[in-house]
Amino acid sequence: LTDKPLREVLAKPDTSGRLVKWSVELGEYNVRYKARPVIKSQVLADFVGDNTPTESMEDDSFENEKGVWKLSVDGSSYVSGSGAGLVLTSSDGWTLEYALRFGFKTINNEAKWEALIAGLTIEKHLEV
């Protein structure tokens, strides 16, 4: 699966040089080109649906009781894997630090989004 127009590039009749060589080499294999499905919007919709506050969570006294927490996230991707760092800081000065290693390949932007989702999930479980 790819979002690159490989089929169009390799099938052009006016292709020259290395592309012709690659087209011939790949021609002997049964290569199928499929567009990568766009799932970002559905994932975001699912996340918002799963984490929308209920009526009991909207109580103002709950926020005053727990205080305000700050979430800082950063994610990165590299050859051998991807990961993220999270820092939760309370208004009282408490700091919780998390280091995550993802078991799947990502690009830097995806790693940052995964870090944000992980941080929000941790906040939800801590009820902050």
Q: Where are the domains of the chain?
A: 5-51, 69-126
Confidence of residue 19 (pLDDT cuts 50, 70, 90): confident
Whole-number CA gyration radius for the chain? 23
Give the residue from 105, 123, 112, 8 showing the smallest Cα distance to 66: 123
Report, as an integer, the average pLDDT of 103-111.
81
Determine the pLDDT at residue 54: 66
For 26, residues 6+ apart whose C-beta sits below 8 A from its C-beta are 10
Say yes or no to pLDDT of 52 above 80. no
CB 57, CB 118: distance < 8 Å: no
Give the residue from 127, 102, 103, 110 showing the smallest Cα distance to 44: 110
Confidence of residue 15 (pLDDT cuts 50, 70, 90): low
pTM for this model (two decimals): 0.48
Region of poorest pLDDT, from 52-56, 61-65, 98-102, 117-121 = 61-65
Say yes or no to pLDDT of 113 above 80. yes
First to last CA, the chain: 39
Say yes or no to pLDDT of 2 above 70. no
CB 82, CB 48: distance < 8 Å: no
Determine the pLDDT at residue 40: 64
Determine the pLDDT at residue 56: 55
CB 97, CB 86: distance < 8 Å: yes
